Every structure is written in C-alpha cells, then in structure tokens.
C-alpha cells in the first residue's frame, strides 16, 4: 500500500495534538530507506517525526483487540512515569540517610559551648530544689534578745508554735491551692538555713527562746519570721506556713517582700511550684534581686517552662556575676534544648525515610506487576519471527529460501513462513533492501514535487468550499433586521393558572415551615461565589437568534461552518473610539482589567449558547458563525455583539466581553440597550472586589430598567446585588417584582423562596418593615415612618418625588435643603392605601419611554447611580401590576395622636390584623470546612450534621411482620442466659455496620432482560457504569432534602463494601471479574439509550433497573457519590412499587456514613 507524503504529514500533525500516541503503520514505502524489517513506528518526543521500533511492546498477541491495545498503552505509560519517580525516591532516601547521625548527642555535648560549660550538671529535678532566704536573722535575733534576756536552763524546752488568732488578711494568699491545703504540706529538712544562726545557738535552745518571746509578743513580725525559720530547719512545713501567714499580715510594707519570698521558696520545696512562681513574681515587683530571679528560674524549670527559666537565670547572673550557679544552670538548659531539638529532627527524618522507602518498595512492586502484565500481552518469540517474515514477504515480494503458505488454526486462516537457509535468506533480504534505498533516493525530488502539488490541490479544495460558502452569503451581507420577526415575550400575559401560581408565591403562607426545611439545601441564599449565570436572550424582544445564526448564513444546525474557525473578537471595531462615562465606572474598569480565569468562566451558560444554533452544535462552530456575522455586517449589530460577549463570558475573559458590549452600546444604543447592560452588570458583579463595584452594577441595572421595565431579569439581578450588600428588605422587593412580572421565571422564584424562609426564621414579616402614619404639625399631616430603619420618615410631593421628613429635625432645617427619602420608599409608597401619586406621573412615564438618543453619551445620561428601585419609569402596565401585588400592611395610628384639620387625607380604611408567632426551627449546621478524621474521630459525631428525627417514626404493619417471619423465622433457644451471653452492644452495632442490598430480582424483575450475558465481557478501567444526570429531578422522590445527600462528598467513615463483591459478581456470568460485570452494565446503558421501549420516560435514556444494579458496583468501590447518583436516578424513574429497592441501599449507605437519622427516614 503506497502512502502519500501528505497523509504522513497529517499523521504527524495529529501526533502533535495527542502527545505520546503510537502510530501503527503496516507499510511505509518511503521509510524503507530508514530501517528494515520493522512494523511499528512511534512519534518522537518532540512530536515532529516518527521512528521505527525494533522490539515494540505493541506487537500484541491479539492485534485485533483495541481494548487490549489501549490497556497496553496505559500500562506502559504507568511504567514510564513510575520509573521516572524511582530516581527521585532514591535521591530523597540518600539525602535523608546522610542527615541521620546516631552520634548526634555525643557530638553536640563535645562541641557545643553550652554543653561544655554545663559539663556533667544534671537537669533532673533535685538540683533545682534549693533553699533561699532574703531575711537577715541577726536583726531579728537582736530584737528577740531584747525581749528575752535570761532564761532558766532547767525548765523544759518549748517549740515556737504560731497560734495567735489571725483575722482575714489579704496578705495571707488564702486563694492559692497550696495555702488551702497547708495542713498536708511536707518539705525536707533545710539544714543549710541553720548556718545563718550564731554557732553558740543549739537548735532546741533557739526554738525555746523564740517560743518564750512569742508568748510575750505573739504578733511580732520578727519573732514570727524566726519561728518560721526554726520550723523550716526542722522540715515541718505546716507550722512554718502558719508563722509566715501571720508574719505577712503583721509585717511592714518594706519587710513583706522578704516574707513572701520565704513562703514562695518553701512552697516550691513542698511541690507547689506554680504557687511559688506567683509569689516570686510579686516579690520581683518590689525587689529586683538576683536571688529572686534565681529562685523564680528554679520554679520555672520544675514546671517545664525552660525557655523563661533561661531568661531568669541570665537576669540573675547579670545582677550578680558571682552567682555561678545561674550561668551553669542556664547553660545546662540550653544544652538540653539543643539535644531535644536535634533528636526530634532525627526522629522525624527517620519516619520520613521509612515512609519514603515504603513508597519506593510499593512503586517497585507495582512496576514489576505492570511489566509482567505487559509481557503477557506481547506476542511470543515465534510469533514475532513470523510477523517479521510476513512483513518482509509483502515488502520485498517473493524471496528465495523462504516458503509462506496459508494454514488454519481453530477455524481461522493464517499465514506461516518457514526458512530453509537463514544465511542465504538474509543476504537476499539485504540485497532487496539496498535496491529499495537506491530507488527511494532517486525519487526523492519527485516526492517533493508531489508534496507541493498535493498541498496545492488540498488548499484549492478547501478554498473552493469556503468560496462557495462566501458566495452564498452575498444576498445577506449588510442586511439588518430593523424590526423583530415575532412578538416580544414581555410583558407576559398572566393566564388564570399563572395568576393562581403568583398568588401562592406572594401569599404569607408560602413557603411554610415544612417547605423551608425540606428545600433549604435546594434553595440556598446566593453568595458572591455562587451567583446565577443568566442571559437576556434577544428572543425576548421578538428577534430569532436561531434564524440569524442559521438561515442568514446559509447553514443549518446539522451543517458546520466551513473552516478555518476563529474567535469573535470585538476590539478592532471600537479601537479608536473614546470611552464613554459608563465604561469609566470603577466597577467596569476593574472588570475590564481582569484577564482570562476559570473563576470568571460561566460554564452553565454553555448549553444556552450552543442551543442558539442547535443542541448538536459545538461552541467553536457557534463562535465562528458570530465572527462571520461581524465580519460581513449581517444582522443587527447590537444583537451580534451581545452574542459575542456571551461567548467571552463562557470562556472567562471579562475584558473581551466588555469590549463586545461596549461595541453594542456604541453602534446601536437606541436598540434594546438593556440586553447589553444586564450582561455588563453581571460581569461587574462576578469580578467585584469592593462594595463600590456592586453599586456600579446596580446603577447599570437601574439604567436597564429605564430602557425596558418589562424584563424580570433586570429586577432579579438588582435583588441579587442587594443580597450581596446585606440589604435583604430591598432585595425582597426587587425579587418580588421579578416574580410578579413572570411567575415562571424560576431563578427569581427560588431566591424569593430563600428570602422568605430567611425572613420567617428571623421572626420578621416578608417585607421586613412596617409603616406608621404620623402627624408632626398642622403643615405636615401625612408623614409616614418606618418602625424599623431607625424611624426614618418621608412625605410625598408632586411628580412622584419622596422627601425625607423627620418631624422635629426637619423643622430646624433650612427650607432650601431637600433630602432624599430612604431608597425603599419609591417602591413601597405606591402600594400604600392612600394615593401618593399625581397625574403628572403618567406624563413623566411617557416622556421617559420616548427618551432615546443615537449616541453613547445620551445613554450615559440615563445612568442611575442610586440604589432606588426604579419602578416608576415606563411600562405602566407592568408597574401597575407590581403596585397591585405589593400592598404593604400599615399599622393604625394610636388614639393619642392628634389629627389636625389641615390634613389632606386620612387613612380611613381598617388596617389588617398582624401578629407574630414563634416557631422552633431546627437548623442543621453545614460544616464550614471539609470534614476530616482530625476533626471527627468518632462516627457518632456525624449526627451533629444530620436532620432531627420526626416525633413519630412509622412502624411496619403487623401483616408485614407476619409475612416477613415466614421467610426469616427467629431462631429458638432454650438457654435462659441467651441474652446475657450475647456480646453485642449498641456501640458495636453502631461501629460494625452491615452491608445490605436488595436485588431487583427479589421484586420479580429479570436483569437478563436489560443486560446481555451472551457476548464476551469487556474488561477495561474506563468501562464503568456511570449513571446519567436527571432531566427533571424531583427532590421529594430522590430525598434531596436530607442533609446526608448534601454531605455525600464528605463521608469520611464510608469504606468500600467488599462484602457485596459476590453479590455484584452474581449479576454476570460465573467467574467473571468485577471489571467484566461493570463493562456489561456500561454497554447495557448504551443499548438502553438506543432502544425506544427501554429509554422511554427514563432520564438519560437509561432504564432504572440498570442504575439500581450499577449502585452495587460503586458501593464495592467505596464511591458514595456515584452510588447515590445511581440511586437518585432509580428513585426518579422506578415504578412506585419498586422504589423500596433503591431506598434500602440509600439507607444502608447513610447508616455506614454515620448519618443515622437520614438513614431511618430514607429506609
């Protein structure tokens, strides 16, 4: 087979698009000059050429199997990737092994200056239990001798007990735990304190002297200090504490610090170092002494606060350099800290090394397994030899010393070659090969000429197709659809059924509590990260976009635009035009500066964009059609530029989208500018980084309302902005207006649902404000005030102007000053039970409706930068409808209010009775961050995110129990201790869940009717039974209101259900693997989509029995998300008597995830 150069170039270009793709070429005439006897070729790494492979791993034992070929490629890619990681693992392991040093401790101790300074000093507890004193006993002894001069040596010796009555004292530190437990304190003997006494004093004599002196002066602080010293030397902590308590009370301010220090030192020795630290710190506030810093450091070491202890030791040494123990202890602590840090790093490095080696071993075993599987799929040596001989036979023709014939194996014909003389055969092949090389070189220029000619022919063919297309466009070039070819959708005529629906949406009873609870996950409040993605279609104005993109281009939805394709860029159309004031708003400027980003891509508009041509079109095809319309000036410019902006919104390029919108507003600002303004506002909303940007978007939307007040989308978007700005009352008014204009506008209905549920939860009424009528003075009879909003008041003037009026404040203000009323007033005032409008309002409406200019600056004059709800501009029919549906309840005036005779109008109608009712609503918390085992260690903690159980759970009927006992009778036992011997507890039942599954065959449905078991089963990783999305989901059928469904991606306790493996394998033939059964289900789903009697009334065309069976595969895999997706499909499509099959599986999954309440409700 001769292959032209052009075909080879096409293959190379395809290889550039799909990197790593192996190209199989059985015969390549021009490549014979490069190699001989090779049947497989591969694209080089640069993607620019191909090269032969001598021993290709793609020489398959079953070359007819595409599945095996693709699986072989996947395995080889995995081997290559893992081998590349081997060197990284080895390098990491070597580096970590170098860091590991078993002699690190001895090295630090022998080299670090702190360790050398510390020497052999121990950092155990004992060296830090030292006795200190700041009191000089000699001064106290002199005082004692002055009281007791001579004593009889013959009388018995007494002990100096401190037992005098002590009143409540703030200086006794009774709040410290050690002081409250002072009777149980014990300390070792403090013999070192005896050195401070004169040598002639024996300890018993010293105590006797102090005791006699205390009898004379029991409240003397010096004597109490000596008594405490005596008991400390004796090691009796309780007696010493009693003496120190009294000494603290009776000591002077100058002496009290020394007593506190003594008490702290004794508590430290008694094991209450924390209390000692408190006392030491108080002493430091009075005396900055080295001994105090030293004692505080010792206490800090004992409580393991070594960092602060080092600071205190350094402070002590700085105040007294003779205190060598301070520097010694500080050096020892620093040495210990360095050793601990080094050992912790060694330990972490060891753990990392072990983990890295385990990863290396696992990857090595994986590569070995993959290589073994690859070898099994490759042709054996004899097969490779036959393949080479057959290739040479067809390449070089008949050769001597070889015999090729057709043989039959297992009923199949095959070619087999035998060689009689290998040496002569190789010589003949070499000779033939050299002749082909010579011929190829001789014909090389001819190939070049052919290549040029072929390329020219191809370009000529492509140009001819494009020329024919462009010639067909001639009648349409420059054409503009001046008038719409259909009726506008808005204002929408409200039928009787829609009117009832609207009344329901606007009633105070909708949504009720149960509806709010059931749909709180389905209708969340919009946020900046989850904004709706909407487009005001020109079809709303009566223009057919489909005709423009198809008929006006001579195309159809099934016929693609001729190549080449390009993007619909708009910058060149307005490059030389100045920016209008609208595009100088900070929010618009900020949006224009943002580049391409996935964050800004509005993917949900993609289907809307494609459907403009037809649901089978591609996004690139539609984009090229728009570019052609722009290039040849076909259709209304405002419409085409808006379509181009929609494309760039989907692509996530706000700057280019704004350029297209700028062009739309520049060329035809007088024609449906609200379409461009709503798109521009949505771009600003999506890119906004400050509240100021949202205000700019609101100004753009208000301008769009001026252009056409009939569109519900504009009001809805304005409501979204108010939600983002936390102005929920104004937001509710906007969204209500959108629903009033179109009760079928589902996005507005959903947000209205969320707002009203939020309002009822907070205890407020749907509007959020109440209005009271007040009379401030005879000249100000009709002043209306909000009960909320700080009591803001307003009055109605002519031409629909509302002026702020705060009664007494306004009386003091100048008459020349006029203040605007609160922004909510223009919407609410027309709804009051008295008339605040005037005849001039209608004239103003008409003048504004007719206000159209032909330049962009004129459109800029319309920009309304306020946050008012602009409902008094045009479209009187829609405005009247909003007014009628938005009546506000007013509170009757109090009887104490005076009505002046000069009042123009008094509210005579009886006001509605209003009351508030407190209803307990259980709000299920949603985790702020993804759940993890570090946050939740027990499955039972998942109940915190589950729904509350209903007050009464339905129990099975007696008839159901009786029927069930026929198939599963309870086992009988005569053992009286049967219950006591059962080792099953509630906690074990909670932790050891059981996998449960009900097959559709139990309901009399044969799975073989929907799945073919006769054909060979495919086995490839990509063949998995993925269930389709629901076309029209019903939350009540699929139980979407349960919190468990919305937490499905965070089932941290849900594991693969291996116990269901046998059940899943039983769905196929005997001894089939899981992958085989999964492949059968996937093929059965594709067949179901093509079979009318199976796909009828089934979401995605997949029969519910297949989605039910596929659930079992995902449960075995441990994929709860896909399992629940299949269960929802089954519940949405199965007959009512078959839904229990899916509900049992759903309940079991929720049970294993720990959401027991959802499991009970589903089951």
Give the residue-averaged pLDDT of 691-708: 91
pLDDT in tens, 841-850: 333 333 333 4
How far is CA 1163 from each of CA 941, 954, 1042, rounded to the nearest angstrom?
Answer: 21, 10, 12
Of 314-328, 787-801, 860-874, 996-1010, the one with minimum mean pLDDT is 860-874
- Which has the closest alpha carbon to 784: 839, 825, 823? 825
Report, in this order, helix, strand and coil percent for the chain, each rounded to 5. Answer: 55, 5, 40
Over residues 975-986, the mean pLDDT reads 50
Among 305-314, 451-460, 790-799, 979-988, the range with the most confident prediction by mean pLDDT is: 305-314
Element (H, E) at 786: strand 783-786
What's the number of CA atoms in the CB half-sphere (13 Å) around residue 442? Answer: 6
* β-bridge mates for residue 794, sequence order: 784, 804
| Mean per-residue pLDDT, 271-278 | 89
Average pLDDT of span 14-28: 32
- Rounded to whole angstroms, the Cα distance separating 1136 from 464 reads 60
Domains and CATH numbers, the chain: 135-288 (1.25.40.10), 379-438 (no CATH), 496-761 (1.25.40.10), 771-891 (no CATH), 981-1162 (no CATH)
The answer to whether residue 588 scores a pLDDT higher than 90 is: yes
Separation between Cα atoms, residue 215 and residue 155, nearest integer Å? 15
What pLDDT score does 820 carry?
A: 46
pLDDT at 11 over 50: no
CB 174 within 8 A of CB 217: no
- How far is the C-alpha of 862 from the C-alpha of 380, rounded, in Å? 81
User: Are 330 and 301 contacting, i.e. CB atoms less than 8 angstroms apart?
Assistant: no
How does strand 890-891 pair with strand 802-804?
unpaired
- Name 334's Cβ contacts closer than 8 Å, sequence gap at least 6: 114, 118, 310
Residue 32 sits at the vertex; the CA angle it makes with 31 and 38, to the nearest 5 degrees, is 95
Q: Please tell me the predicted confidence (pLDDT) of residue 751.
A: 93
Residue 676 confidence (pLDDT): 95
Average pLDDT score over residue span 488-511? 86
Please count the other Cβ atoms lying within 10 Å of the Cβ belonging to residue 1057: 25
Query: Residues 751-755: what's their mean pLDDT?
Result: 92
For residue 539, give the nearest of 602, 473, 605, 608 by alpha carbon: 608
Q: Give the span between the Cα atoms of 216 and 1127, in whole angstroms.
A: 95
pLDDT at 245 > cutoff 90: no
CA distance to 705, 846, 1087, per residue, from 862 (Å): 10, 15, 58
* Burial class for 147, CB neighbours closer than 10 Å (0-12, 13-18, 19+): middle
Residue 206 CA: distances (Å) to CA of 154, 186, 709: 15, 22, 105
Say if residue 491 is preceded by a cis peptide, omega within 30 of 0: yes
Length reported for the chain: 1163
731: confidence class by pLDDT, cuts 50, 70, 90 = very high
Please give the structure tokens belonging to residue 752: 């209205």
Q: Kindly give the interhelix angle for 422-442 and 381-396, rounded to the nearest 10 degrees.
A: 50
Pairing mode of beta strands 40-43, 771-774: unpaired
Residues 637, 317: Cα–Cα separation, whole Å: 87
Closest CA to 276 of 192, 188, 181, 177: 177
Q: Find where tokens 């949900």 sit.
A: 604
Q: Which of 315-329, 407-421, 459-473 has the lowest mean pLDDT?
A: 459-473
Locus of tokens 């009191």: 135
Element (H, E) at 772: strand 771-774
pLDDT band at residue 644, thresholds of 50, 70 and 90?
very high
Average pLDDT over residues 145-150: 72
Euclidean distance between CA atoms 622 and 557, whole angstroms: 10
Out of 470-474, 564-568, 970-974, the most confident range is 564-568
Place of tokens 């409240």: 219
Q: Please classify residue 704 by burial: count the beta carbons closer than 10 Å to its beta carbon, then call 0-12 exposed, 13-18 middle and 19+ buried.
A: buried
Mean pLDDT of 275-279: 90
pLDDT band at 861 (very low <50, low <70, confident <90, very high): very low
CA distance 829 to 816: 24
- Of residues 150 and 690, which shows the higher confidence score? 690
CB-CB neighbours of 638 under 10 Å: 24
Q: Which of 62-71, 655-664, 896-905, 923-932 has the lowest mean pLDDT?
A: 896-905
| Across 141-155, 522-536, 727-741, 1047-1061, least confident range | 141-155
Instruction: Tell me which of 396-400, 428-432, 900-904 is least confident.
Output: 900-904
- Higher-confidence residue of 972 and 910: namely 972
Would you say 104 and 346 are in contact if contact means Cβ atoms under 8 Å apart? yes
Residues 6+ apart with CB under 8 A from 624: 561, 565, 566, 568
Q: What is the CA radius of gyration of the chain?
A: 46
What integer is the mean pLDDT of 258-263?
Answer: 88
What does the alpha-carbon distance between residue 991 and residue 941 come to, in Å, rounded to a whole number? 12
CB 768 within 8 A of CB 732: yes
- Given a cut of 90, whether residue 98 has pLDDT beyond it is no
Q: Could you tell me the pLDDT band of residue 258, with boundaries at 50, 70 and 90?
A: confident
Global confidence as pTM: 0.38
Is the per-residue pLDDT at 777 higher than 70?
Answer: no
pLDDT digits (tens, 9 = 90+) for 511-540: 888 888 877 777 788 998 889 999 999 999
pLDDT of residue 378: 86
Q: Does residue 681 or residue 48 have the better pLDDT?
A: 681
pLDDT at 1042 over 50: yes
CA distance 1069 to 1151: 31
The top-scoring range by mean pLDDT among 101-110, 260-269, 1035-1044 is: 260-269
pLDDT of residue 222: 86
- Give 993's pLDDT tier (boundaries 50, 70, 90): confident
Q: Is the pLDDT of residue 973 over 70?
A: no
Residue 794, pLDDT above cutoff 90 = no
State the residue for tokens 């309304």.
864
Give me the pLDDT at residue 653, please: 95
Q: Is the peptide bond before 511 cis (omega within 30 degrees of 0)?
A: yes
Report whether pLDDT(683) > 90.
yes
Residue 171 pLDDT more than 70? yes
Reported in sequence order, the residue ranges of 623-663 that DSSP labels E, i.e. its strands, are none
User: Are the beta carbons of 252 and 185 closer than 8 angstroms?
Assistant: no
Which H or E element spans position 549?
helix 545-549
Task: Please list, in sequence order, all residues whose beta carbon lies within 8 angstroms of the beta carbon of residue 649, skipping any fewer than 6 positions away.
Answer: 533, 600, 602, 605, 657, 679, 682, 683
pLDDT, tens digit, for every residue of 350-361? 888 898 889 889
Pairwise CA distance, residues 181 & 166, whole Å: 17
Q: How confident is the model at residue 1105 (pLDDT cuts 50, 70, 90)?
A: very high
Measure the CA–CA gap between 454 and 9, rounded to whole angstroms. Answer: 12
- Alpha helices (H) along 890-932: none
- pLDDT tens-digit series, residues 909-933: 333 334 444 444 456 677 767 787 7
Across 497-506, 635-644, 711-720, least confident range: 497-506
What's the CA gap between 325 and 313, in Å, rounded? Answer: 9
For the chain, give me the number of helices (H) and strands (E)?
47, 9
CA distance 496 to 892: 34
Structure tokens at 924: 């299920």
Whether 912 contacts 889, CB under 8 Å: yes
Q: What residues contact 416, with CB distance under 8 A and at least 6 apart?
A: 386, 404, 405, 406, 407
Q: Are 629 and 553 in contact (CB under 8 A)?
A: yes
pLDDT, mean over the chain = 77
Q: Tokens at residue 366, please? A: 């994986």
Mean pLDDT score, 938-947: 81
- Number of neighbouring beta carbons within 10 Å of residue 934: 7
Q: What is the mean predicted confidence (pLDDT) over 417-426?
A: 90
Question: Could you tell me the two tokens for 556?
Answer: 């159809």
Tokens coding 1042: 């349960």
Of 376-380, 584-588, 593-597, 803-807, the range with the lowest mean pLDDT is 803-807
Query: In the structure encoding, which two tokens stand for residue 1058, read together?
Result: 């291996």
Instruction: Enter the DSSP assignment of 953.
Output: P
Indicate the pairing of strand 890-891 with strand 771-774: parallel
Mean pLDDT of the 238-248 span = 87
What pLDDT sits at residue 84? Answer: 82
Looking at per-residue pLDDT, the higher value among 69 and 962 belongs to: 69
Q: Average pLDDT, stretch 775-798? A: 58
């Amino acid at each position: 087979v001769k292959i032209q150069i052009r075909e080879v170039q096409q293959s190379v270009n395809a290889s550039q698009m799909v990197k790593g793709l192996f190209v199989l070429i059985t015969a390549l005439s021009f490549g014979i000059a490069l190699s001989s006897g090779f049947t497989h070729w591969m694209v080089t790494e640069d993607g620019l050429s191909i090269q032969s492979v001598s021993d290709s791993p793609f020489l398959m034992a079953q070359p007819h199997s595409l599945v095996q070929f693709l699986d072989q490629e996947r395995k080889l890619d995995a081997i290559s990737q893992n081998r590349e990681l081997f060197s990284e693992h080895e390098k990491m392991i070597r580096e970590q092994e170098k860091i590991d040093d078993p002699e690190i401790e001895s090295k630090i101790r022998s080299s670090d200056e702190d360790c050398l300074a510390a020497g052999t000093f121990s950092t155990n507890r004992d060296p830090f239990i030292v006795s200190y004193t700041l009191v000089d006993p000699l001064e106290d002894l002199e005082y004692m001798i002055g009281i007791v001069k001579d004593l009889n040596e013959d009388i018995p010796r007494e002990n100096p007990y401190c037992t005098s009555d002590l009143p409540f004292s703030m200086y006794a530190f009774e709040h410290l735990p050690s002081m409250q437990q002072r009777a149980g304190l014990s300390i070792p003997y403090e013999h070192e304190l005896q050195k401070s006494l004169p040598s002639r004093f024996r300890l018993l004599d010293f105590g006797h002297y102090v005791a006699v002196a205390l009898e004379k002066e029991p409240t003397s602080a010096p004597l109490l200090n000596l008594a405490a010293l005596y008991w400390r030397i004796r090691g009796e902590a309780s007696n010493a504490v009693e003496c120190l308590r009294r000494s603290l009370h009776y000591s002077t301010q100058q002496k009290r610090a020394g007593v506190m220090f003594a008490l702290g030192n004794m508590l430290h020795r008694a094991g209450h170092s924390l209390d000692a630290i408190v006392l030491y710190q108080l002493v430091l506030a009075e005396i900055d002494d080295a001994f105090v810093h030293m004692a505080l450091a010792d206490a800090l070491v004992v409580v393991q606060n070594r960092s602060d202890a080092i600071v205190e030791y350094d402070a002590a040494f700085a105040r007294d350099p003779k205190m060598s123990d301070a520097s010694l202890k500080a050096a020892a602590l620093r040495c210990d800290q360095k050793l601990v840090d080094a050992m912790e790093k060694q330990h972490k490095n060891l753990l990392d090394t072990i983990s890295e080696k385990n990863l290396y071993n696992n990857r090595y075993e994986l590569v070995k397994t993959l290589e073994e599987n690859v070898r099994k799929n490759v042709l054996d040596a004899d097969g490779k030899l036959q393949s080479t001989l057959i290739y040479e036979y067809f390449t070089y023709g008949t050769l001597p010393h070889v015999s090729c014939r057709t043989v039959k194996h297992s009923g199949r014909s095959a070619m087999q070659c035998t060689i009689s003389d290998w040496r002569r055969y190789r010589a003949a092949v070499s000779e033939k090969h050299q002749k082909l090389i010579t011929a190829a070189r001789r014909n090389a220029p001819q190939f070049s000429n052919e290549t040029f000619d072929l390329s020219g022919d191809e370009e000529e063919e492509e140009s001819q197709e494009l020329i024919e297309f462009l010639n067909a466009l001639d009648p349409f070039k420059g054409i503009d659809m001046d008038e719409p070819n259909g009726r506008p959708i808005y204002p929408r005529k409200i039928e009787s059924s829609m009117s009832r629906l609207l009344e329901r949406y606007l009633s105070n009873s909708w949504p009720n509590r149960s509806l709010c609870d059931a749909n709180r996950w389905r209708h969340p409040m919009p946020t900046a990260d989850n904004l709706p993605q909407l487009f005001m279609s020109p079809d709303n104005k009566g223009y057919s976009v489909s005709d423009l993109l198809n008929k006006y281009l001579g195309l159809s939805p099934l016929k693609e635009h001729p190549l080449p394709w390009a993007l619909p860029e708009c910058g060149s159309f307005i490059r030389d035009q100045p920016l209008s004031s609208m595009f100088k708003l900070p929010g618009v400027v900020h949006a224009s500066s943002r580049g391409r980003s996935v964050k800004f891509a509005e993917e949900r508009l993609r289907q809307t964009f494609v459907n403009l041509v037809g649901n089978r079109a591609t996004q690139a095809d539609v984009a090229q059609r728009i570019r052609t319309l722009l290039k040849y000036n076909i259709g209304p410019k405002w419409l085409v530029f808006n379509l181009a902006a929609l494309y760039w919104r989907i692509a996530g390029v706000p700057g280019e989208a704004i350029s297209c919108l700028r062009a739309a507003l520049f060329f035809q600002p007088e024609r449906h500018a609200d379409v461009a303004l709503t798109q521009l506002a949505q771009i600003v909303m999506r890119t906004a980084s400050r509240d100021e940007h949202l205000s700019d978007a609101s100004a753009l939307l208000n301008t769009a309302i001026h252009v056409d007040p009939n569109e519900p989308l504009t009001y809805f978007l304005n409501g979204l902005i108010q939600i983002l700005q936390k102005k929920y009352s104004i937001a509710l008014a906007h969204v209500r207006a959108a629903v009033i204009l179109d009760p079928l506008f589902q996005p507005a209905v959903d947000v209205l649902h969320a707002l009203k549920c939020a309002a009822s939860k907070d205890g407020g009424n749907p509007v959020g404000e109440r209005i009271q009528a007040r009379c401030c003075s005879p000249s100000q009879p009709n002043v209306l005030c909000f009960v909320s909003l700080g009591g803001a008041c307003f009055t109605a003037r002519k031409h629909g102007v509302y002026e702020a009026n705060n009664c007494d404040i306004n009386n003091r203000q100048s008459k020349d000053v006029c203040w605007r009323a609160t922004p909510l007033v223009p919407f609410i005032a027309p709804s009051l039970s008295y008339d605040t409008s005037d005849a001039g309002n209608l004239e103003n409406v008409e003048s504004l409706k007719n206000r159209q200019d032909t330049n962009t600056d004129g459109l800029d004059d319309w920009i309304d930068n306020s946050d008012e709800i602009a409902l008094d501009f045009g479209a009187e029919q829609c405005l009247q409808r909003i007014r009628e549906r938005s009546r506000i309840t007013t509170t009757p005036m109090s009887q104490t209010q005076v009505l002046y005779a000069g009042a123009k109008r008094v509210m005579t109608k009886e006001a509605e009775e209003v009351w508030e009712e407190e209803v307990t609503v259980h709000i299920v918390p949603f985790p702020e961050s993804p759940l993890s085992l570090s946050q939740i260690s027990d499955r039972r903690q998942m109940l915190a995110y589950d729904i509350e159980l209903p007050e009464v759970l339905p129990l099975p009927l007696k008839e159901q129990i009786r029927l069930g006992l026929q198939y599963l009778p309870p086992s009988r036992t005569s053992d009286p201790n049967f219950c006591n011997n059962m080792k099953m507890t509630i906690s074990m039942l909670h932790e050891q869940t059981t996998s449960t599954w009900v097959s559709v065959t139990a309901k009399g449905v044969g799975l073989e009717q929907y799945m073919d078991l006769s054909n060979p089963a495919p086995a490839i990783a990509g063949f998995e039974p993925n269930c389709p999305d629901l076309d029209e989901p019903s939350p009540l059928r699929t139980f979407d209101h349960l919190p468990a469904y919305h937490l499905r991606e965070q089932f941290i306790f849900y594991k693969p259900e291996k116990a269901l493996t046998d059940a899943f394998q039983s769905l196929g033939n005997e001894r089939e693997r899981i992958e085989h059964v999964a492949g059968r289900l996937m093929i059965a789903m594709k067949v179901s989509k093509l079979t009318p009697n199976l796909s009828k009334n089934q979401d995605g065309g997949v029969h519910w029995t297949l989605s039910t069976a596929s659930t079992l595969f995902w449960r075995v895999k441990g994929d709860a998300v896909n399992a629940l997706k299949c269960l929802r499909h089954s519940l949405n499509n199965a007959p009512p008597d078959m839904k229990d099959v899916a509900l049992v599986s759903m309940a079991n999954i929720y049970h294993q995830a720990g959401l027991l309440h959802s499991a009970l409700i589903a089951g």
